[in-house]
Chain A
């Protein structure tokens, strides 16, 4: 087998195998619950991708997962594991909402959205930069630091929210100005009426393209991937490894800072504590299943978007937690099979 075919095989076989294995496991759980797996899957698909309302909701659920997956994938490509998406997204979303709420009403719509976006990206990026900086300067592991920062940021945001920014008697900020609203997709596609899908989805897709271009079509991206591949060799080749680590973590954090865009600019129009419930962690599953490639991330995010919306659809019959279990099994199968498949293919040489 030539090298390219082998690579393509790895990239496709592992995710498909993982999803199939996860389905078998969920069959067992559905049977434990004394329901028919076929009936549940039919229900899940009918409620999501086979009707226009379902499609709109899937798009809504897919949008944050694209950002989250891109954030993890971007760091992975530089050999870094950003497990701090939760903290970065809270900081980013909070800043987005605060900027949106305090902008003057007369500001043009386009400018308002750009400022909110930029604020979210920079705020998330700052939180991502800290572990990158610590890794580059002291060598301390980014995984532990990003986990610690998740808790620190959550406590800090709670302080800011409760002390300064909340609407009294609530745990959310005041509403953003109407010019910072992102248009719902239903304004352009009437079939998506009454779904929350917004232009945030378009921004997510554009971001995936930008990430692709940065990583594969620029010198900077080449350097990042070289560091991810082999930091010692990259350093020998004259690449500034420390700079790459700091930049990569900052950009990864910035991408995570946009996870809440959908929610703040397209749905609720304010930041509310506890809105994420693990979206940052889901990015790890998305990136893994998408093989850390922007196109793969978009596809994997869509799959998890279907599952996430589908969980609500089937909840009347089986507990929606089935979907969480399914997602975890997919991750386990992907990581567990990666080394194995590589080994088998290497033997076939």
Chain B
């Protein structure tokens, strides 16, 4: 009974949303990149660099806003590297992603030593301010303050809707989907395939970098390896959500929910093994990919480099 009370509470809802924010941001990045035909396993490394960038930026300027900007730029630069390797050099995109993830782990640790003289965490920095919309007091107004008053959560919500509009309601989105589905045809129609892909991968870097900003500034510090597999969860959500912004965002909430459930179970001292709940997102993704619950089909040209010559 205690467990049910734990799940049907405002605290649980807030926790679910807070866990899901970085997933959603990174997953939106994943949708942009993959819809344009570039597999982006580098999301994990981009999040890590974004988190480090945001903390370092805040530490050096004293302003979390500049910090957030630094995090987004760090993410974009990381994504640019992935774009150059996989578009300009037409290298295997998965290997590029794996290498960038390794590189990010090494680079963030290296610069952690240089700037903070520690191999595990940075100094504490200021976070992003949460606005008081309603006077605090009861659970409901606390929830409104924590959710609606948090600019990052509102921004995330806006980004999801905006991503859907861009991808499905604009000329840019039509072109984006065209280069991911049928680059030859798009090229014939005069669309610069590789330019489109560069733009999309860099957008994905900005968004996944923002996921890192959330992690860094929410915890007020950078800790070694703090992306902790979130990039892979985001990729799973993109697949589970069938490469659509709304679908991917819902998948993120589902995955975030299973994680919140784990935490609730652990703290309530129940003896349900949480490891099996931990597996849910990954199992669901494999099942979806295999086609048991409505086939997830990737964009047709996903992972294939395009030679404009």
Contact = CB atoms under 8 A, between A and B. Distances in A.
Contact of B90 (A29, A156, A339): A339
A140 B103 contact: no
A336 interface: yes
Interface in A319-338: 319, 321-325, 327-329, 331-332, 335-338
Contact of A319 (B98, B109, B289): B109
Interface string A131-154: 000100110110111011101100
A152 B91 contact: no
A140 B99 contact: no
Nearest to A339: B90
Contact of B282 (A141, A151, A281): A151
A83 B232 contact: no
A129 to B, nearest CB: 14
Contacts of B95: 81, 284, 288, 331, 335
A325 B106 contact: yes
A339 B86 CA distance: 10
B94 A155 contact: no
Nearest to A158: B275
Interface residues of B, number: 43
Contact of A144 (B92, B229, B285): B285
A187 interface: no
Which range contains the number of A residues in contact with the other chain? 35 or more
Contacts, number: 129
Given A81-B94, A148-B286, A321-B109, A335 B99 contact: yes
Contacts of A137: 290
A108 B113 CA distance: 50
Given A155-B275, A335-B99, A140 B291 contact: yes
A151 B279 contact: yes
A319 B119 contact: yes
Nearest to A337: B89
Contacts of B282: 148-149, 151-152
A340 interface: yes
A33 interface: yes
B98 A331 contact: yes
A336 B113 CA distance: 29
B273 A151 contact: no
Interface in B78-107: 81, 85, 89-92, 94-96, 98-103, 105-107
Given A83-B98, A144-B285, A319-B114, 8 more contacts: A138-B291, A147-B235, A148-B236, A155-B275, A319-B109, A323-B106, A335-B95, A336-B96
Interface of B: 41, 81, 85, 89-92, 94-96, 98-103, 105-107, 109-110, 113-114, 119, 229, 232, 235-236, 239, 273, 275-276, 278-279, 282-283, 285-286, 289-291, 298, 305
